[in-house]
Structure 1
Amino acid sequence: MSEAADVPGVSDGSDPSDVLALDSLLTANELAVRERIRDFTEQRIKPGIARWYEDAVFPLEVVPELGELGVLGMHLEGYGCPGRSAVEYGLAAMELEAGDSGIRTFVSVQGSLAMTAIHKWGSEEQRQEWLPRMAAGELIGCFALTEPTAGSDPSSISTFARRDGPGDDAGWVLDGAKRWIGFASVAGVMVVWARTDDGVRGFLVPAGTPGVRATPIAQKLSMRASIQCDVVFDAVRLGPEALLPGARGLRGPFTCLNEARYGIAWGAMGAARDSYQAALNYSQDRLQFGKPLAGYQLTQEKLVNMLLEIQKGTMLAIHLGRLKGARKLQPEQISLGKLNNVREAIAIAREARSILGGNGITLDYSPLRHAANLESVRTYEGTDEVHTLVLGKHITGIGAFR
């Protein structure tokens, strides 16, 4: 081992793409988690992803495997959840999204959204009933907040739950519609956010409840190896036990959304890294005008510019993870990470495709698939514009949303 390898922050040269020696910022446990999930992605996701993407199929068979891998509700404690650190969860998101955004999105919807809502806002009975099966991948959850006319402005949701009789012991009647709800058609339980006479509240709606209809959205150009649905609630009757007792107002769903946004800041760098690696490998093997593409100045400039943003974005993600682990992470910091890393990841995927030339438009190579997926990632959990305004309010003190 070289002397450089013994000095924190100095690369030993074993990975030329880790110029900043970012691995030295990770613990042995964190590196072990990363390698385990990277191996899973290489063995179980990458061999099938082109077919799943082309056929617009989400591989339900990997769900229990993800449970066994320990990435469902990875950051949560108890109830069969792994209870791993913020950085470990981030690394998992990065490695899974290097496979495909659709796989990382499932883990996010399951753990950061649906399971977090139950874990943080549910009753003890609700936690015991749902979380162990969700952590094991035996049951899928979804998170129904977005509506056809309420995307970036969840305060305008119109889905309504009214009391089904007098008194607090009465049940509820739910009416409304949701859109772009991940995995709703295969979910065993829906976390549904609705307006009530007492403000926005959360409800657990089990699969098979009469009056619920979830229809997968077809003809997507992005996130094809995933499921997003339109959901209709038509006079859906729920018992009093369906209410999440701890969630009142938009703070309930926003807490879950921030968990998901944090994972996206990591995941986007996984898609970026995989795109960069595909372009680097191709440029070293592809001969043009008598030498490898990697030997030309224009190609090297593209590769260097991609690597700059991957290294910076990964360092940002690690920093956010350390803040989160110390319980110091703020919403505006999450917005900065999501806005920057997704935006840069899209640019990297597109640039990587340019190095691949015409071959880059096929599913034999990952960059254009990643670029298409990232258009969805850029949109959900807060658009670029929303996160820009969050940061704008933070630095000026003036809200510009309306």
Structure 2
Amino acid sequence: MSDAMADPVSDQRDPTPYDALLLLSFGGPEGPDDVVPFLENVTRGRGIPKERLKEVGQHYFLFGGVSPINDQNRALLAALRKDFADAGLDLPVYWGNRNWAPYLTDTLREMVADGHRRIAVLATSAYASYSGCRQYRENLADALATLEAEGRPLPRVDKLRHYFNHPGFVRPMVEGVLTSLAKLDESVRAGAHLAFTTHSIPTSAADASGPAGEHGEGGAYVRQHLDVARLVADAVRDETGVEHPWELVYQSRSGAPHIPWLEPDICDHLEAVHAAGAPAVVMVPIGFVSDHMEVLYDLDTEATAKAAELGLPVRRSATVGDDPRFAAAVRDLVLERAAAERGAAVERCALGALGASHDLCPAGCCPARTARPAAAGADSPYA
């Protein structure tokens, strides 16, 4: 790997003005009795009947009603705390979820009680989109509104920038692909295709993702994923000497069938490349920080079964998870933002063609279908 992929974590150790970091994630059920209440939280306001939620919850019931995401967040929380301590960064790290315990509002209430007033926020979503960014900001605004109604002091929350092209996020994925290729039989390895996967979203949401100037076909969401896919594919070529064909594909589609979503689906893609003569495929979940339910079911279960039906050898590469390089990247993002907030000149670390993302989401960035207050952006009602 070239020097451009080396970890450039800042030598600075001053998190001022921040006095805490919040790890903000999606949440997931931790037992069979949690599944339907969790899905009710996720779909609140959409009027979906409980019987339909039980059908949707079958993916969770296949795994004992437990989503792996909470344990993975516990591991990431421990990795962040260890990295910060080892680096001499005195910044406490908390964890809150949008849809399950520990709930975001409860965690912010705890942070305020502990005296924290300026909080950096890391969302476990690396890319721009309504569901991957603005919805997190809306949940932050809802939590702050609750604290305000309770008469509690309001902290300022700043969401850290998108980190899809940070070396600490990209490099572990490169190594995951190399490991997966090595596990394929040598007779099919060189011809293996790379299927970079991410969550499908409605095409209308993709087209409106990112700042208004980036709206258009696929928006920032598709462009950012394509940039990461190129980075990983190029790095694999540089290290193996083999140019593997690749494509960005999608998974986990939901919603009404008449609404267009991003395609092709991973299972359709496997059928297509098999028909075209691909000897093997490595599925690379670049759109996911950890191996949560949509990775375990949609890739490890459903797509792997489709490949077996086709007689197509497949491997699924690892997500970043609690990799120490990702923890170090988070430290870098915190210190970078802290320096920028202090007015210092900042060299932002980013690979690929798109450069570093914005710190502050501008008005009109990843708009919602129905306008709602969102914190940590130019249009935030909370300074």
Question: TM-score surpassing 0.5?
Answer: no
Which has the greater radius of gyration? Answer: 1
Higher share of residues assigned helix: 1
TM-score by length of 1: 0.27
TM-score by length of 2: 0.28
Structure number with greater CO (CA < 8 Å, separation at least 6) is: 2
Higher share of residues assigned strand: 1
